[in-house]
Structure 1
């Protein structure tokens, strides 16, 4: 397929992994100090693993690698970056777990990691009180939905369906004004979540296995760290 880094809106920017400064690469934005704060490589046929060295980008606010062919575990070091505002990993084959404590991510507004292979509980998500969009659907999460998610008063979209969650969507979450709120609330769901306020109870889907192809995302990523 095509590589959108060569197309609009990146006209005039240097190609990704070219020998110039990474601040001039298409898909990369730096702050006035020359530090990487925005990585947007969505839908670019990237494959391989997300390198753990990205956890050294202390000024990173946005990481968007959605709709690629990335696999392996999401590096735990990236969860430690306290300036993060957006993580988008949707539509890859990325696994790993969400840490139980995310209180340091006080600016996180969008956590969109649907259609991957994440597992474990989602307790830590309850620490993200600035969240506006939360998309966890179609992973392998277990346990219950934490009522502390209701503390995110600006949240307008939360999708929990397609996991192995059980229990009830807490009333504290129902008190918020959602445009979209989903869970596995169909009676025939293998893992049932009772919900009195969901906007939809989607039918479970079977997800195709994607075949890696395209550009290796880890190739020469160490240039970010210079």
Structure 2
């Protein structure tokens, strides 16, 4: 019988938080997909689900532990919620972009081994506490949702390589001097971020930074950009003064009406 109603074991120290260790992977995954539209398309039958490693979009390892879940490009048929508290601890990769998922997400409830999280192009909302990302995380793609509130980039996982927060409704000042040394790609575009920016200590690994269409302001110095940087797009902000633009890479500060560019 499909797990629609079940007595969930709870951590006694945290009411409402699922104790994954007391539930099987089968039960956890049934609870997870029950929040999605037409779960029977994933598990074959709502009344009698197939064994989890046989599900559509599920990849298990040699020990029959769930490592990956992919459920993307459903568009308007991809409704539901992202109940990550039900994902088994073994899960490393979750790909659920280009759907119509709604509701909030609690990053602290992601499995501790999660490395890849793609939730872009949904209708997810609420705040994002990036300090709660698992330390194993490498790719976090949350662009084109409806997230709000402030975010901090100061305590991101050391091994994080890709972070996309573009096209949301986030607002806060941003610190670029404490980014993970492994970071390759950063997108903060199309939000309401503000304040000045310090480009002097970007990671040596960084290749692309997207900051366009925000409210960043103040003067800037691009004299210490890393050689690895191929693209820096900071169009449509409120920078001012004059700045000398390095010759390497593609650097775009268009639509900053009070900023004068001097080419190196």
TM over 0.5: yes
Shift of 1:41: 1.1
CA deviation vs aligned residue, 1:170-198 (integer Å, no higher than 9, x gap): 336534342210113xxxx5622566456
Q: Partner of 1:210 in structure 2?
A: none
| Residue aligning to 1:121 | 150
Query: Is the counterpart of residue 88 in structure 1 residue 112 in structure 2?
Result: no
- Structure 2 partner of 1:140: 169
Residues 95, 116 of structure 1: 8 Å contact kept? yes
Report the number of matched residues: 184
Q: 1:50 to 1:202 in 2, by over 3 A?
A: farther
Q: Using CA pairs under 8 Å that are at least 6 residues apart, name the structure with larger relative contact order, 1 or 2.
A: 1
Match of residue 191 from structure 1: 215
- Greater Rg over alpha carbons, structure: 2
Q: CA deviation at 1:203?
A: 5.6
The CA deviation string for residues 47-100 of structure 1, in whole angstroms up to 9 with x for no partner, is: 3332426444211111110011212222x2664421110110011111122225
Of 59, 81, 95, the residue aligned with 1:64 is 95
Asked if 2 retains the 8 angstrom alpha-carbon contact of 1:126 and 1:148, the reply is: no
Query: 1:142 touches 1:165 (CA, 8 Å); kept in 2?
Result: yes
Question: How high is the TM-score relative to the length of structure 1?
Answer: 0.70
CA RMSD of aligned residues (A): 2.8
* TM-score between both structures, scaled by the size of structure 2: 0.61
Question: What are the ranges of 5 or more consecutive residues in structure 1 without an aligned counterpart?
Answer: 1-13, 205-226
2:64 maps to 34
Aligned to 2:260: none
Quote the Cα distance in structure 2 between the aligned partners of 1:123 and 1:43.
29
1:13-32 → structure 2 map (5 Å cutoff): 16-18=42-44, 19-32=49-62
1:158 aligns to 2:189 (yes or no): no
SS at match of 1:16: helix
- Matching residue of 2:159: 130
Q: Which of 212, 234, 243 pairs up with 1:201?
A: 234
60-69 vs 36-45, greater mean Cα deviation:
36-45
Q: Distance in 2 between matches of 1:136 and 1:77?
A: 14
